[in-house]
Amino acid sequence: DAGVIQSPRHEVTEMGQEVTLRCKPISGHNSLFWYRQTMMRGLELLIYFNNNVPIDDSGMPEDRFSAKMPNASFSTLKIQPSEPRDSAVYFCASSLRASSGANVLTFGAGSRLTVL
């Protein structure tokens, strides 16, 4: 398996533009997570899906952020309009939810977003 695949790896855009980040989870995994990582706030959970259904989006900063998972093999995180404070590394992770609670996440390499 190629692992969790994210694109783009790097994105530089101007304030006000729309940004779309993409994620392909590991085949067979039933949970998908979007995280944001910054120096100031560390690793923050934005939203997670179980069986393609959004379960908890309480970590989404505001209405400018939205996430979708139209099928088991694809998810997007969209920011519209983008602002400089959105600059961060965004990670997608997937897992096979286990009843034992040993929920091991596999992370993608991340998408580094810079908003000028």
Partner 1 sequence: GDSVTQMEGPVTLSEEAFLTINCTYTATGYPSLFWYVQYPGEGLQLLLKATKADDKGSNKGFEATYRKETTSFHLEKGSVQVSDSAVYFCALSDTGGSYIPTFGRGTSLIVHP
Residues near partner 1 (CB under 8 A) = 4, 33, 42-43, 45, 48, 56, 91, 93, 97, 99-110
Joined together, the tokens standing for residue 60 give: 């989404």
Identity of the residue, 71 or 99, whose beta carbon is nearer to partner 1 in the bound complex: 99
Rounded distance between C-alpha atoms, residue 69 and residue 25, angstroms:
11
CB of 20 to partner 1, least distance (A): 19
Q: How far is CA 93 from the centre of its chain?
A: 7
Amino acid at residue number 36: R
Q: By the 8 A CB rule, do 68 and 56 touch?
A: no
Of 52 and 64, nearer to partner 1 (C-beta) is 52
- Shortest separation between residue 110's beta carbon and partner 1, angstroms: 5
